[in-house]
Structure 1
Amino acid sequence: MTNENLKGIHHVTAMTDNAMRNYKFMTEVVGMRLVKKTVNQDDIQTYHTFFADDEGSPGTDMTFFDFPNNPKGSRGTNSISRTGLRVPDDAALEYYLNRFEENGVTHSGIQELFGKKILPFEESDGQRYQLFSDENNDGVAPGKPWKNGPVPEDKAVYGLGPIEITVSYYDDFKKVLQEVYGMKPVLEEENVTLLDVGEGGNGGQVILRKDEGTEGRQGYGEVHHVSFRVEDHAALAAWEDKYRKMGIGNSGLIDRFYFEALYARVGHILIELSTDGPGFMGDEPYETLGESLALPPFLEPKRAQIEAAIRPFDTTRSK
């Protein structure tokens, strides 16, 4: 029998105004590994970069679209409003606080949210993140910190944390998360609910907030979509069938080579479901992940065309 239950967060995809600057920020400051430099398969003249743990494990990757001439997004409701990233413990938050100070990164200082210590911060284009301490955390297992990164392994980001979604239709959206996606409320306060996905914990949670104010607009500095994990092709196919039976419009199964995907829009929020595999280790050596432009087999015949169109940037780290 196919287990179609969601396992946790798979990835978050955001939009950047500059792939090179974003690469330097994510690797040199945040300390995540670039595990794949490829192109947006729906717009092959633009980059799609994947930052993750040491091996690109599912549940650890923050990815970016680099759309030339994309306008700046605006903050507001009906959006994925902030991405969480996991670090091992409270001491890691103190380490990053000092690191952000040294690098001039905008942050809000160490705070507490739902009994967890967090450190909210921003990229220079306005993209919003928050580090979550895994101290005393249970639930979805983390990934493996980047072994050769600039951040010590015992402090480094090693997975995605709770994803914050803000909507005006709060009750209706919460009902969909529970009844369609099987998420379970674990904490409810006025106008905010924390929901578990899969085994829960920092690697499997959604923070749902109510905001009836001005609607946000997608663009660089904002999140494009969030993806949740399913085990394999059979589980994803079961979700496609479930969507059909429930009358939920969807993309149908799409093979992204590194994983299979299924997209559905819930109100304003684009939700993707993605398989755990095959992963990012099959087409490049571990030692040089992300250093060259990687293309799935069906795009290889267009490599010359793609390389002529995109702006090259150097991501070589191995010597």
Structure 2
Amino acid sequence: MTDTLHTPGIHHVTAIASDPSENHAFYTETLGLRLVKRSVNQDDVGVYHLFYADDAGTPGTSMTFFPYTDARSGRVGTGQATTVSFVIPDDAVDYWVDRLESRAIGTNRFERFGDEVIAFEDPDGLPLELVARADAPAGEPPAGPVPEERAIRGFFAVELALVDPDPTVRLLEAMGYEATEDDESAGRRRFESTGDRGFVVDVVTDPSTPQGSPGAGTVHHVAYRVTDDEQAAWRELLREHGLRPSEVIDRKWFRSVYVRTHGGVLFEFATKEPGYDVDEPRDSLGERLVLPEWSENRREEIEDGLPPLSLTATE
């Protein structure tokens, strides 16, 4: 059964941040995403887990963060997902360059594989890109500071920096990705799945790239979309590739399998269901701190231990 498995692309990407208020302001006010879930790191409940996405929290649009107030800056490098790319409409490039630069955010505008790209960093130094595409999905952009016709439509790609890419490439191919582009001079190979969001993975091998180290401004893991009834088969596939997958873990909003790949990047395989609206109406997503049922008896203790988080718009 493992030879029939296929992921349409990214479910979510989770990164490490430092100040939760600064993180919230950047992703909601500057990038125009919606806070669709305010929870805690289920493995460290003294840390927020903040989820930003489109209006509905659609898989393929959700960028999430663990903001550690005492986090040191990480180093972006090999063994990591180094850059996260979002897709925007192809006529929105000038708007986004102006928007970012008006907020003193440095940008680098260039072309890659025929797409216009805007590269920049978030407040913790996480490398981000906006990729302009004529086929950007219409999606469900949130109401907010960015006009709907210019809004981010979800993920386009993640970039994996690897010293020895071959084992990870074989895994990506088993996940349904196919090689589509190759830039030998940049050590970049592109792999694409068949979804409409987050369907691209760029594998980059550059001897000058330093070894990455975790910390604020680095990606924690990349999650791919899978179905509930295939989780056992995904675990089998991962074992066939010499990896040690976790058991299926119930995260309340999705069920997940985790694995550390040979290249060092942590992958997650997450289901669409139940979704972010399983415990909050869509109209009020992100408005309160939500906890898994198994943590509710500790709510007062957890709330008292969390750092300050300002949700007040500054613009």
Q: What TM-score do you get using the length of structure 1 for normalisation?
A: 0.91
Match in the other structure for 1:225? 221
Segment drifting more, 10-19 vs 188-197: 188-197
Between the aligned partners of 2:138 and 2:116, the Cα distance in structure 1 is: 17
Between the aligned partners of 1:316 and 1:20, the Cα distance in structure 2 is: 9
SS of 1:276's equivalent in the other structure is: strand
Question: 5+ residue gaps in structure 2?
Answer: none
Change (3 A) 1:136 1:246: closer
The 8 Å contact of residues 118 and 130 in structure 2, kept in 1 or not, is answered as yes
CA shift digits 1:232-287 (9 cap, x unpaired) = 21112221233345442011100100001111111310011100111111212222
The count of residues paired between Structure 1 and Structure 2 equals 308
Match in the other structure for 1:165? 160
The 8 Å contact of residues 34 and 52 in structure 1, kept in 2 or not, is answered as yes
The 8 Å contact of residues 160 and 203 in structure 1, kept in 2 or not, is answered as yes
Question: 5+ residue gaps in structure 1?
Answer: none
Change (3 A) 1:78 1:142: farther
Q: 1:187 aligns with which of 181, 192, 196?
A: 181
Between the aligned partners of 2:254 and 2:196, the Cα distance in structure 1 is: 24
Between the aligned partners of 1:206 and 1:77, the Cα distance in structure 2 is: 15
User: Structure 2 counterpart of 1:5, which letter?
Assistant: H
Is 2:264 the counterpart of 1:268?
yes
SS of 1:58's equivalent in the other structure is: coil
Between the aligned partners of 1:316 and 1:295, the Cα distance in structure 2 is: 22
Between the aligned partners of 1:130 and 1:42, the Cα distance in structure 2 is: 29
Between the aligned partners of 1:277 and 1:316, the Cα distance in structure 2 is: 30
Between the aligned partners of 1:92 and 1:118, the Cα distance in structure 2 is: 11
Change (3 A) 1:245 1:194: closer
User: Structure 2 counterpart of 1:10, which letter?
Assistant: H
Trace 1:121-270 onto structure 2 (pairs within 5 A). 121-136=120-135, 141=137, 143-146=139-142, 148-178=143-173, 180-190=174-184, 191-197=187-193, 199-200=194-195, 203-213=198-208, 214-230=210-226, 232-266=227-261, 267-270=263-266
Superposed CA RMSD in Å reads 1.9
Match in the other structure for 1:96? 96
User: Structure 2 counterpart of 1:295, which letter?
Assistant: L
SS of 2:87's equivalent in the other structure is: strand
Match in the other structure for 2:278? 282
User: Structure 2 counterpart of 1:96, which letter?
Assistant: W
SS of 1:76's equivalent in the other structure is: coil
Match in the other structure for 1:34? 35
The 8 Å contact of residues 10 and 197 in structure 2, kept in 1 or not, is answered as no
User: Structure 2 counterpart of 1:56, which letter?
Assistant: G
Between the aligned partners of 1:60 and 1:25, the Cα distance in structure 2 is: 16
User: Structure 1 counterpart of 2:119, which letter?
Assistant: P
SS of 1:263's equivalent in the other structure is: strand
The 8 Å contact of residues 291 and 315 in structure 1, kept in 2 or not, is answered as no
User: Structure 2 counterpart of 1:134, which letter?
Assistant: R
The 8 Å contact of residues 167 and 212 in structure 1, kept in 2 or not, is answered as no
The 8 Å contact of residues 52 and 62 in structure 1, kept in 2 or not, is answered as yes
Between the aligned partners of 2:70 and 2:5, the Cα distance in structure 1 is: 39
Match in the other structure for 2:113? 114
SS of 1:154's equivalent in the other structure is: helix
Change (3 A) 1:119 1:175: same
Between the aligned partners of 1:127 and 1:242, the Cα distance in structure 2 is: 31
Q: Residue 38 of structure 1: CA displacement?
A: 0.3
Between the aligned partners of 1:265 and 1:226, the Cα distance in structure 2 is: 11
Q: Residue 142 of structure 1: CA displacement?
A: 5.9
Match in the other structure for 2:62? 61
The 8 Å contact of residues 84 and 157 in structure 2, kept in 1 or not, is answered as yes
CA shift digits 1:12-62 (9 cap, x unpaired) = 101101111000000000000000010001111100000000110000000
